């Protein structure tokens, strides 16, 4: 579900609320579908600059995930990532950094180094350090990313040649 295709937030919110209501009827509040709906509502609130509401939703998903599921659940890392983006938009870099590092490390562990969500967190961490004017740290993380991309490229080439 893409909620900002044309930034039609007034149409997206009732759809997401309906999806959340249906998910809440079908599943427990800690079910991944319910958590995903709350996360999307948080993103919607963030993009509308309703930062307090967005923060509350992201924190609730993180709390529900940690309390009811497991700390290593992808929904938890997704909400940590989105909350860190919220803090970045508010230039609260010191609040964003630990969340983004935790989201990145969790995504690397659960999804792998080259998964699109992992790479998304990795790139946001580089952007965070650039915005924060911590250019050495940005370069350090960019170098780590380049190293993993090179490893993946070599791995993919070996897979292709082994099938020929």
- Residue 98 has a pLDDT of 97
- Report the C-alpha dihedral over residues 30, 122, 96, 129, rounded to 10 degrees: 180
Alpha helices in the chain (DSSP H): 9-26, 32-47, 51-68, 74-89, 93-111, 116-131, 135-163
pLDDT digits (tens, 9 = 90+) for 104-138: 999 999 999 889 999 999 999 999 999 999 999 99
93 burial via Cβ count (<10 Å: 0-12, 13-18, 19+): middle
Q: What distances in angstroms separate CA 19 from CA 36, 91, 109, 139, one per listed residue? A: 10, 32, 30, 41
Determine which of 26-30, 60-64, 100-104 has the lowest per-residue pLDDT on average. 26-30
* Residue that wins the pLDDT comparison between 140 and 151: 140
Return d(Cα 164, Cα 160) in angstroms, integer. 7
């Amino acid at each position: 579900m893409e909620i900002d295709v044309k930034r039609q937030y007034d149409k997206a919110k009732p759809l997401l609320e309906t999806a959340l209501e249906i998910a809440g009827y079908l599943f427990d509040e800690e079910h991944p579908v319910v958590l995903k709906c709350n996360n999307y509502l948080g993103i919607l609130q963030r993009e509308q600059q309703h930062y307090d509401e967005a923060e509350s939703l992201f924190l609730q998903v993180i709390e529900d995930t940690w309390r009811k599921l497991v700390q290593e659940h992808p929904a938890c890392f997704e909400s940590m990532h989105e909350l860190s983006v919220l803090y970045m938009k508010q230039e609260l870099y010191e609040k964003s950094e630990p969340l983004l590092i935790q989201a990145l490390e969790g995504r690397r562990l659960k999804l792998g180094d080259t998964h699109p969500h992992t790479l998304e967190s990795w790139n946001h961490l580089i952007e965070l350090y650039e915005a924060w004017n911590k250019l050495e740290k940005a370069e350090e993380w960019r170098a780590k990313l380049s190293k993993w991309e090179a490893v993946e490229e070599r791995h993919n080439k070996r897979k292709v040649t082994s099938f020929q």
